[in-house]
Structure 1
Amino acid sequence: MEHVFFCTGHELKIPNIVKSEGLYLYDKQGKSYMDLESGVWCTSIGHNIEGINGIIKNQINSLMHAGFCYSNEILEESAQSILKAAGFNHGKSVFLCSGSEAIEISSQMAKHLTAESVSLTLHDSYLGAYSSITDKSRNWHLLNWEQCKICSDKDKCDLSCEVLKKIPKYVSEFIFEPGSSSGFVRFPPKAMIKNIVKIVRDNNGKIVANEVTTGIGRTGKWFGYQHYDINPDFIAVGKGVGNGYPVSIALINEYTARQLELKPFHYSQSHQNDPLGASIVKGVIQYIENNDLISEAQKNGALLQKHLESIVDKEIILEVRGRGLMFAVDIKNEGLTNSIYSELIKKGYIVGNRGSSLRIDPPLTITKTEIDGFIEVLRETISHVKLFR
């Protein structure tokens, strides 16, 4: 692929995939690979799902792209389905193209309503690819919660905490990523997050849940923030909601939507509220509901976590962190990580390589048999690496 510019920072390992189905990819030689990374964490229900393909074909034959003055009723149907899943029954949705954009528009709306310019987030958050978010040297307060990980009172955190005292009095919004931590799967203490939300809310700031990675069943609930007993004003949704199609959504709760009606906000781009993306979102939500995949993610996630924790030996595998079907496996050094990662690919298993850890995010449709098979191969691979290191 000499004319394709790859700039993600990841090495292209398998350039000739010609077929996909469910958890599996197939190359030109017919070799199969179990995709335990769900693409870029996007194929939440698996590759090449017949029901979703049918929805795409039907919508293309109707209307795939809308203008500023015309649309299709699928927008309202899809909005109702995703808002219901989020518990925002009387809220509103903006359909967009990427998770980065869903976070960006949520942040812009928060600043518009609060008239504040400083955004708050945790120091290890990944919030998207836009320069307004990647460049945190201006108009950002990064809350370093490293010491909270080992705090003996982390489950009883109160407003006297020294970390919380560093929060500026006035911020436009707190953007909370509930567990991905730039791909390393770290879960902030519940009490700390609830206190941050209280501080920001008491000063009229907004709460944005960044659910691009942690949403759509990934953590065993519809959204990761639901593990924290908080109620955000905005939810940024992406990746898994399109099952590989580039669609994202900014969800707005009822109160905030009313505020935006009183103080109009303008944002436009060519593919905002496109019917094709909306139809796919509705289809993915229905597929998850019809197959009870949130419960399956809880059950199979618990099984996979138990298996992964059993391989922790403190010699090569140092720690496992997970929730639902989202895991990080910390490894002693990057050389060992690369060896295990490459061996797994040779054996037909794709996981994420984060340098100091492996990232495992299988589709919600993974089965017990597939989990057992992967763990057996992972054990063999670790043993092989131990032998020849």
Structure 2
Amino acid sequence: MEHVFFCTGHELKIKNAVKAEGLYITDDQERKYLDLESGVWCTSIGHGNPYVNDAVKEQIDKLIHAGFCYSSEIMEYAAKELLRVAGMEDGKCVFLCSGSEGVEVTRQMSRTLTGRGLSMTLHDSYLGSYSSLSEESGGWFLLDWERCKNCPVQQTCDETCHLFAEVPEDISEFIFEPGSSSGLVNFPPEKMIENLADKVRALGGKVIVNEVTTGVGRTGKWFGFQHYRMEPDFIAVGKGIGNGYPVSAALLKGEDAEKLLDKGFHYSQSHQNDPLGASVVFSVIRFIENSDLVTHATVCGDYLYKELEGLVDGKLVTEHRGRGLMHVLEFADPAMVQRVYSELIEKGYIVGNRGRALRIDPPLIIEQNELEVFLDVFRDVLMGLSDTKPA
């Protein structure tokens, strides 16, 4: 690869992938790799899913792209389905190209409605690759909830907690990422989040949930916020809703959509509300529902949780966190994470790695027997390293 610029910070382990089908990626040497990272959370229902592919092929022969002054019926079908599973039936949907764009657009909408310029998020959130989202200096308030992780009263947390006193009165919106934390899989306590949302609303602010990684069945519910008793004003959806195709969406309440139009809000780009992307979204939702994959993610996730929990020994593996089919193991030494990651690649398994954390986020179509085979290999790798001193 002489002319492709790889600037992700990740080393390439598969130099020339030539095919992907279901759970597996095949390279030019005909080696198969089980993708337990779901293409970085993107291929939620498996690589090259034939149901989605057929929908794409059909739509390509009809209409791929729509401009600003015309529409297509498939957009309405897809928007209605996405709003339904999100519990926002009276809302509106804008189809976009990336999860980062979804978060950015909802933030712009919220600021237009509130007339304020200060966004709040938790200190360990990852909201996107745009500088307006990643450079959290001007216009941002980061709420440090580190002390809350081991709080003995976190399940009865109320507004008397010091955390709520820190929320600025001029807040525009609270952007909540329900469990990813830049891939480190931290799930904030229910009462804390519910009370924070109530506090922000009482101050006249809005609530946005970033479901780019936690949505589309990943956590055993359609969306991660559904593990909390809350109703967001905006939802940003991406990654898994396109199953590898670059489509995302911003969802908002119908009443807020009307207010935005009254205020003259505009947002436009060349690939907004495209029919091809909408057809992908529609087919992904239909496939997940027809195959009952949200329930399946819960069942397989419960099994995976129990097995991974048993790998925590306090020495090599120090902690496990997970929900549905989103899991992370933390290691005592980041060098060990890299060794485990590399050995699993050699044995034909792709996982995610970041610092001390090893991520396991398989496609929702994975079966328990496939997890069992992987776990046997994984245990062997850990066993081989258990007596090895950190590098």
How many correspondences in the alignment? 389
**Cα pair 1:170 1:200 within 8 Å, conserved:** no
Amino acid at match of 2:84: K
Does the residue aligned with 2:171 lie in a helix, a strand or coil?
Answer: coil
**1:293, distance to aligned residue in structure 2 (A):** 0.2
How big is each residue's C-alpha offset from its partner over 1:131-154, in whole Å with a ceiling of 9 and x where there is no partner? 111111101000000000111111
Counterparts of 1:55 and 1:182 in 2: how far apart (Å)? 32
Determine the structure 1 residue equivalent to 2:189.
189
Counterparts of 2:325 and 2:386 in 1: how far apart (Å)? 27
The runs of 4+ residues in structure 1 deviating greater than 4 Å are: none
Amino acid at match of 2:219: T
Amino acid at match of 1:299: V
Counterparts of 2:71 and 2:159 in 1: how far apart (Å)? 48
Determine the structure 2 residue equivalent to 1:349.
349
**1:311, distance to aligned residue in structure 2 (A):** 1.1
Amino acid at match of 1:76: E
Determine the structure 2 residue equivalent to 1:332.
332
Determine the structure 1 residue equivalent to 2:60.
60
How big is each residue's C-alpha offset from its partner over 1:243-272, in whole Å with a ceiling of 9 and x where there is no partner? 000000000122322322332310000000
Determine the structure 2 residue equivalent to 1:377.
377
Amino acid at match of 1:370: E
The answer to whether residue 275 in structure 2 is matched with residue 275 in structure 1 is yes
- Which range moved further: 36-45 or 12-21? 12-21
Identical residues among aligned pairs (%): 57
**1:336, distance to aligned residue in structure 2 (A):** 0.6
The answer to whether residue 261 in structure 2 is matched with residue 261 in structure 1 is yes
Amino acid at match of 1:37: E
**1:388, distance to aligned residue in structure 2 (A):** 4.5
Q: TM-score, normalised by structure 1?
A: 0.99
**1:51, distance to aligned residue in structure 2 (A):** 1.1
Amino acid at match of 2:209: A
Determine the structure 1 residue equivalent to 2:250.
250
Determine the structure 1 residue equivalent to 2:284.
284
Determine the structure 1 residue equivalent to 2:156.
156
Amino acid at match of 1:45: I
**Cα pair 1:90 1:254 within 8 Å, conserved:** yes
Determine the structure 2 residue equivalent to 1:136.
136
Counterparts of 2:279 and 2:164 in 1: how far apart (Å)? 42
Does the residue aligned with 1:20 lie in a helix, a strand or coil?
Answer: strand
Counterparts of 1:346 and 1:304 in 2: how far apart (Å)? 22
Determine the structure 2 residue equivalent to 1:100.
100
Structure 2 unaligned spans of 5+: none
Counterparts of 1:174 and 1:355 in 2: how far apart (Å)? 27
Amino acid at match of 1:152: P
- Which range moved further: 261-270 or 85-94? 261-270
Residues 75-90 of structure 1: matches in 2 within 5 Å?
Answer: 75-90=75-90
Determine the structure 2 residue equivalent to 1:202.
202
**Cα pair 1:212 1:237 within 8 Å, conserved:** yes
Amino acid at match of 1:346: E
Does the residue aligned with 1:69 lie in a helix, a strand or coil?
Answer: coil
- Which range moved further: 271-280 or 310-319? 310-319
How big is each residue's C-alpha offset from its partner over 1:7-66, in whole Å with a ceiling of 9 and x where there is no partner? 111111101111111001111121110000001110000001111111111111000001
Counterparts of 1:229 and 1:264 in 2: how far apart (Å)? 32
Counterparts of 1:230 and 1:170 in 2: how far apart (Å)? 21
Determine the structure 1 residue equivalent to 2:18.
18
**Cα pair 1:56 1:280 within 8 Å, conserved:** yes
Does the residue aligned with 2:11 lie in a helix, a strand or coil?
Answer: coil
- Which range moved further: 284-293 or 378-387? 378-387
Determine the structure 1 residue equivalent to 2:28.
28
How big is each residue's C-alpha offset from its partner over 1:59-111, in whole Å with a ceiling of 9 and x where there is no partner? 11000001111221100000001000101111000000000000000000000
Q: TM-score, normalised by structure 2?
A: 0.98
Determine the structure 1 residue equivalent to 2:117.
117
Does the residue aligned with 1:150 lie in a helix, a strand or coil?
Answer: coil
**1:386, distance to aligned residue in structure 2 (A):** 2.2
Counterparts of 2:366 and 2:297 in 1: how far apart (Å)? 8
Counterparts of 2:258 and 2:194 in 1: how far apart (Å)? 24
Amino acid at match of 2:311: I
Counterparts of 1:119 and 1:165 in 2: how far apart (Å)? 16
Amino acid at match of 2:88: F
- Which range moved further: 43-52 or 249-258? 249-258
Counterparts of 1:40 and 1:149 in 2: how far apart (Å)? 26
Does the residue aligned with 1:25 lie in a helix, a strand or coil?
Answer: strand
Counterparts of 1:117 and 1:388 in 2: how far apart (Å)? 51
How big is each residue's C-alpha offset from its partner over 1:304-361, in whole Å with a ceiling of 9 and x where there is no partner? 0111011111111111100000001001111110111000000000000112010111
- Which range moved further: 265-274 or 251-260? 251-260
Counterparts of 2:387 and 2:201 in 1: how far apart (Å)? 55
Determine the structure 2 residue equivalent to 1:146.
146
Determine the structure 1 residue equivalent to 2:306.
306
The answer to whether residue 301 in structure 2 is matched with residue 294 in structure 1 is no
Counterparts of 1:259 and 1:295 in 2: how far apart (Å)? 37
- Which range moved further: 237-246 or 148-157? 148-157
Counterparts of 1:277 and 1:144 in 2: how far apart (Å)? 37
**1:183, distance to aligned residue in structure 2 (A):** 0.9
**1:387, distance to aligned residue in structure 2 (A):** 4.2
